[in-house]
């Protein structure tokens, strides 16, 4: 399963923001499982870095982003995804549109975000961390 994680999920993990951290960190840990591939975008990494830097300074934030980027796949924002985000009248937030089309272009099965309503236009499943955890990680337990 290919899972795209939004910036707010990354921020929750990098800054240990509870209660989201509990589920978000377990979702990111799926990157080490063969049955899951975790994606994010350079834009999400930049946003996550910004908030991590505010909490723990630049060098530590870079180290955290480096560790993260070594374990997850980076979905590029292509010219096509930019154009689609601009043309889709249902996309109200350009950044969300870029994330959505990066997920689509990388054949992701779902998007995990704490701002589910921001992806109201999505044609793929959009779940909060907790909902993803319950639906896909609690199976078989």
Smallest CA-to-CA distance from 75 within 109, 38, 46, 121 is with: 38
Q: How many domains does the chain have?
A: 1
What is the span of the domain harbouring residue 20? Answer: 2-137
* Token pair belonging to 138: 């609690």
140, pLDDT greater than 70: no
Strand order across the 110-112 sheet: 73-74, 37-40, 2-5, 110-112, 125-127
Work out the number of other CB atoms within 10 angstroms of the CB of residue 99: 29
CATH number at 82 reads 3.40.50.1010
| Tens digit of each residue's pLDDT (9 = 90 or more) over 74-121 | 998 899 999 999 999 999 999 999 999 999 999 999 999 999 999 999
């Amino acid at each position: 399963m290919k899972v795209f994680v939004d910036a707010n999920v990354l921020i929750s993990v990098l800054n240990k923001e509870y209660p989201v951290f509990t589920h978000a960190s377990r979702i990111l840990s799926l990157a080490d499982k063969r049955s899951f591939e975790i994606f994010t975008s350079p834009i999400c990494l930049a946003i996550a870095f910004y908030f991590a830097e505010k909490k723990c300074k630049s060098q530590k934030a870079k180290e955290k982003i480096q560790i993260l980027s070594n374990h997850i796949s980076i979905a590029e924002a292509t010219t096509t995804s930019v154009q689609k985000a601009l043309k889709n009248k249902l996309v109200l937030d350009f950044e969300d549109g870029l994330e959505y089309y990066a997920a689509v272009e990388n054949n992701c099965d779902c998007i995990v975000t704490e701002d589910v309503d921001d992806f109201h236009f999505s044609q793929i499943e959009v779940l909060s961390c907790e909902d993803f955890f319950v639906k896909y990680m609690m199976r078989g337990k």
